[in-house]
């Protein structure tokens, strides 16, 4: 089983491993906002809704209120709910098949969840730093 090594870059996904759903949800939180903004809400979010089933039982208004600092506080909760329903209810091979997940989320999943980092060419700056660090780490071993 792949265990992504901890880097000096401190990506959120490193702290959420091995929880695939949380890693993908963090990507939805990071879409079109900053890490600084996400850091204000992510741990409170996962304390309130630690699993897909618990999240699916949440009230829209509670999720929207918590995610307000990220922007898109009406759209983001809807995207997250639809993604979670598809995550638990659909037969999928890669998360890019699920609502709201694009290249960034799919790349993060390949790197942190399944260890296919060699097959990824990230365009996101933080994922790119981690990817480059992994390449350098593997060159020395």
Strand (E) or helix (H) holding 122 = none
Distance CA 106, CA 140 (A): 27
124 belongs to the catalytic site: yes
Distance CA 89, CA 108 (A): 21
Distance CA 81, CA 101 (A): 12
Residue in 19, 65, 116, 124 annotated catalytic: 124
Distance CA 36, CA 111 (A): 22
- The catalytic site residues sit at 124
């Amino acid at each position: 089983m792949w265990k992504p090594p901890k880097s000096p870059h401190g990506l959120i996904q490193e702290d959420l491993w091995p929880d695939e759903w949380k890693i993908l949800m963090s990507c939805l939180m990071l879409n079109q906002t900053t890490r600084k903004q996400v850091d204000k809400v992510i741990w409170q979010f996962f304390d309130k809704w630690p699993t897909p089933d618990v999240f699916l039982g949440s009230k829209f208004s509670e999720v929207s209120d918590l995610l307000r600092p990220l922007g898109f506080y009406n759209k983001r909760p809807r995207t997250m709910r639809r993604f979670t329903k598809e995550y638990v209810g659909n037969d999928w091979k890669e998360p890019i098949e699920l609502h709201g997940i694009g290249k960034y989320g799919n790349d993060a999943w390949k790197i942190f969840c399944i260890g296919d980092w060699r097959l990824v060419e990230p365009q996101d700056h933080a994922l790119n730093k981690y990817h480059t660090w992994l390449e350098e780490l593997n060159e020395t071993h």
